[in-house]
Structure 1
Amino acid sequence: MTPRRRVLLVGVLALLVGCSMSGMEKYVLGVLWAPGYQLCSLPVPGARLVCEPARQLDALLPLAAMLVLLALAVVAIWGAALWCLRPVRDLAGPIAHVGPQNLGHRIRPRGRDELAGLARAIDEMMERVAAGYEGQRRFAANASHELRTPLAVQRTLIEVGMSRTLNGDQLELVTAQLLETNERNERLIEGLLTLSESDQGLRSSTPQRLDEIAYGVLVAYQERATAAGVKVETHLSPRVVPGERVLLERLVTNLVENAIKYNCPGGTLTVVVGDSPALTVVNTGQVVPAEAVAGLFEPFRRLARDRTNHGGGAGLGLAIARSITQAHGGVIIARPAEYGGLRVDVQLPVRR
C-alpha cells in the first residue's frame, strides 16, 4: 500500500475514533450531570446536592471506559504512524549501504506514488554523484600522469649528468632541458592551483570592464602573436561584468594564448567584446572535429592523441576557462570555426 493510502486510512480511523470519543463524552457528561445525581465535587447552581456513593461509582465507570478508549486510540494512532512510515524505513536501508565501493547501486522503484518519485530522485542524484566521483578519479589519474612524465625526464637527465663527465656543450644542453622541464612543472602546478581556486567560486565581485581587460591581455601577447605570424583583429565594445579582475584576466589570457598556440602562420586571431556574447575568441588553424570540441574542456585533454608531446601545454587552458566562467555565473561554448580553428563564446551576466 502506498504512503498516500496509508495516511488516508489513518485519517479515516482517527476520524472514527474521534466521533466515538465525542459520543462517549456526551454520554458520560449526561450521567455525571443528570439532575438529582450530581457529584459532591461538581455542584450545579440551582440543583440539590446529592452525594450517593453507589451512584457516584456508577457515574465513574463510563469515565474510566473513556480513559481506556483514549489510551487505546493513542496506541493505535502511534502504531498507524509507524506503519505509514515503514516504506521510508525500508528505503533508508539500501541508501545507508551506498558508498564509494558501490556507487552503481540503484533503487529502481516501481509505481508513480510519492515514495517512487523520491526513489527516482535519489537514483538521479546517485548518477550525478557517480559521474562527479569518476571525474575526480580520472582527474587524479591524469594529473599523476602529467606530473610523473616530467619527473622521469628530470631523473634521467640527472642520472646522465652523474654517470659521466660532461663537457661544456653537453652540460649546457642538460641544464637547458632540466630548466625547461622544471618550468613546465611550474606551469602545471600553477594551472592546478588556479583551477582549484576558480572551482571554489568568487571571493568578491565588483564591476569590471571586460573590454579593458581584453585590451591589456592583447597588448601583452602582441609580440608572441607577431612571432607566430598571427594577425590580431579586435572589436572591443564597452562591457561591464561583475566578478574578480584576476580571474577574468586569466580567462581572457587562456583563450588568447590557446588561439595563438594552436594557430597557423599567416592565420588570424579575432577577439570581440560585446553584449551577447560578452567575449568571443576565434582563431584559424587545423580543422577541429565537432565531436572532439566538448572533450577539450576536460582537464589534460588535448586535440593531439600523443599525450607524451607536451609542446602544446598541460591541457588545462580551456578547463580553467570553463571553471572561471562558471564561477562568474556564465556559460562558455566552443564550436569549430568556419575555415578551421576554434570559436569560443563566453556568456556573462550583466552588471546589476
Structure 2
Amino acid sequence: MRPHLTARSRLTLLYTGMVLAAGIVLTTLTYLLMRRALGRRLAVVFIDTNGPGPGGLPPLPRVGDEVRQATLSEFLTQAAIALTVVVLLAAVLGWLVAGRVLRPIRTISSTARRLSVENLSERVPVTAPTDELTTLAGTINGMLDRIQQGISERDRVLQSQQLFTANAAHELRTPLTTMRTAIDVTLDGRPDTDELLAMTRDIKTAVEHSQRTLDGLLALARSQAGAGPKHSVDLGDIVTTILDHTAAEVHAKELVVRTDLLPAVVAGVPVLLERMVGNLIDNAIAYNHVGGRIDVTTGCEDGHAVLRIANTGPVIAPDTAHRLLEPFVRGDGARLHTEGGAGLGLSIVHNIATAHGATLTVEAAPTGGLRIAAFFPLGRVPGGEATVR
C-alpha cells in the first residue's frame, strides 16, 4: 500500500527534487568544464634546492595527471557537500513555501466544512493580488451565493405552497360546511316543500362555488406550466373577441367601455392569453359599479407589446394592490368565502404573464378601481400570422 502524502509534502518533494536535479546538472557541467581546462592549461614547475640526487625528478606527465586528478577529486568532494547543504535548505524552504501557498486553500476548505444549510452567510476571504487562488475563492463565493439564493427561493416557494394549500382547503371546506348545515337544519324536523327548495338552492350555490374554485385551481396549475405550442397572437384581436363575449354583462351594468386597440403581436399560447385577457376584463366588470367605465388599450412601447386595462370601482389601499395577485385574495385583502368568484382570477393572470416573460403591474386608482398593465416581449413565431383562437 502506497503511503499517503499530503499536497504540502508532494510540493516539498517536487521543489527539493528540482533543486537536486539542477544541482547535479550544474555540478556535472562544472566538472566537465574544469577537467577540460586543466587538461589544456596545467603547468608544473619544480625547483630543486638540493641539487642533483640519485633519484632524479619524477616524469612530468605523471605529475600533471596526479595534480589534475587531485584537483577534480577535491572539487567533487566540496561540490557534494555544498549540494547536500543546498538540497537540505531547499527542502526546508520548500516546506515553508508550500505551506504559504496552500494556506488560502486550507482556509477555503475549513470555511466549506463550517458551512451548512442553516449557515450559508460565511464567505471565503478574497485577498489581493488577483491570482488563481483569488479566482477560486471568488468562484466558490459565487457558488455559495447561488446556493443561498436557491435555498431562500425554495423556502419562499414552500411557504407559499403551504399558504396556498391552506387557503384552498379552506375554500373547498366552506361550501361543504354550508351544504352540511343546510341539510342538517332542513332535516331537523319535517320540512315542507318550500324548505326543501330553499335547501336545494343553498346546496346548488355551494356546489357552484366549489366548481368555480376547482376550475380556478385547474386553470392556475395550467397557467403555471405554461405548456402548449406558441403562435403569433395579436393582443388587440383577443381584446375585441373577449369584449364581444362579455357584451351582455357590460350592458347589464351600464358600463362605458373605451378602447384604443393598436397591433400588439406576441409569441404565446393563444388559449392562455385568452384566459388572461378574459380574467382581466371579467375582473374589471365584476368589481365595477353600475354606470362605471372600463378603458382598454393595446400597442407597442419601448420594444414591448403592452396591454392596459383600467376600471372604476371600490377604493383599494395603494399599499395592498399588489396582494391581489395572490391566490384567494379580494380587494379588501381577505379570503373569499361563498359569494363571488374563486379569488384566483388575477393570480392566474400573473402566472400566465410570467410564463410568457411578461411584467405585470397593478396600481390602485385614487378615485377607485384598478389600473393593470402587462408588458410582453415583442415576438412573432417564424412563418406564423397573428392569430387568435
TM surpasses 0.5 = yes
* Match among 183, 187, 202 for residue 158 of structure 1: 183
**Aligned equivalents of 1:162, 1:80: Cα separation in 2:** 87
Q: Please list every run of 5 or more consecutive structure 1 residues that lacks an aligned counterpart in the other structure.
A: 1-9, 36-57, 59-67, 99-104
Deviation at 1:348, TM superposition (A): 0.6
Matched, 1:212 2:226: no
- Give the root-mean-square deviation of aligned CA atoms: 4.1
* Match among 89, 107, 125 for residue 121 of structure 2: 107
Q: Residue 347 of structure 2 aligns with which residue? A: 319
Change (3 A) 1:325 1:30: same
**Aligned equivalents of 1:334, 1:275: Cα separation in 2:** 19
Q: Residue 298 of structure 1 aligns with which residue? A: 326
* Match among 377, 380, 383 for residue 349 of structure 1: 377
Q: Secondary structure at the match of 2:163?
A: helix
Q: Please list every run of 5 or more consecutive structure 2 residues that lacks an aligned counterpart in the other structure.
A: 1-7, 33-76, 78-87, 128-136, 381-389
Q: Which has the larger radius of gyration?
A: 2
Q: Secondary structure at the match of 2:300?
A: coil
Q: Secondary structure at the match of 1:270?
A: strand
Q: Secondary structure at the match of 1:275?
A: strand
In the TM superposition, what whole-angstrom CA distance separates every residue of 1:285-314 from its partner, at most 9, and x where no partner exists?
A: 111221111111111111235546443322
**Aligned equivalents of 2:95, 2:338: Cα separation in 1:** 73
Deviation at 1:228, TM superposition (A): 2.1
Q: Residue 197 of structure 1 aligns with which residue? A: 222
**Aligned equivalents of 2:223, 2:94: Cα separation in 1:** 56
In percent, how many aligned pairs have the same letter?
31
How many residues align? The count is: 316
Contact 1:202 1:328 in 2 (8 A): no
In the TM superposition, what whole-angstrom CA distance separates every residue of 1:286-344 from its partner, at most 9, and x where no partner exists?
A: 11221111111111111235546443322111111111001000001011225321110
Change (3 A) 1:308 1:255: closer
**Aligned equivalents of 1:23, 1:219: Cα separation in 2:** 89
Residue identity matched to 2:170: H
Equivalent runs, 1:31-110 vs 2, <5 Å: 84-93=104-113, 95-98=115-118, 105-108=119-122
**Aligned equivalents of 1:154, 1:70: Cα separation in 2:** 90
Contact 1:254 1:321 in 2 (8 A): yes
Q: Residue 171 of structure 2 aligns with which residue? A: 146
Calculate the TM-score normalised by the size of structure 1.
0.73
Contact 1:108 1:120 in 2 (8 A): no
Deviation at 1:69, TM superposition (A): 12
Calculate the TM-score normalised by the size of structure 2.
0.67
Matched, 1:129 2:157: no
**Aligned equivalents of 1:31, 1:251: Cα separation in 2:** 85
Which stretch of structure 1 is more off in the superposition, 88-97 or 69-78? Answer: 69-78
**Aligned equivalents of 1:260, 1:182: Cα separation in 2:** 23
Contact 1:108 1:123 in 2 (8 A): no
Deviation at 1:168, TM superposition (A): 2.4
Q: Residue 173 of structure 1 aligns with which residue? A: 198
Q: Secondary structure at the match of 1:274?
A: strand
In the TM superposition, what whole-angstrom CA distance separates every residue of 1:110-169 from its partner, at most 9, and x where no partner exists?
A: 966646944555544444333333222222221221122112112222333444443222
Change (3 A) 1:78 1:31: closer
**Aligned equivalents of 1:73, 1:178: Cα separation in 2:** 89
* Match among 20, 24, 28 for residue 24 of structure 2: 28
**Aligned equivalents of 1:308, 1:151: Cα separation in 2:** 15
Change (3 A) 1:281 1:97: closer
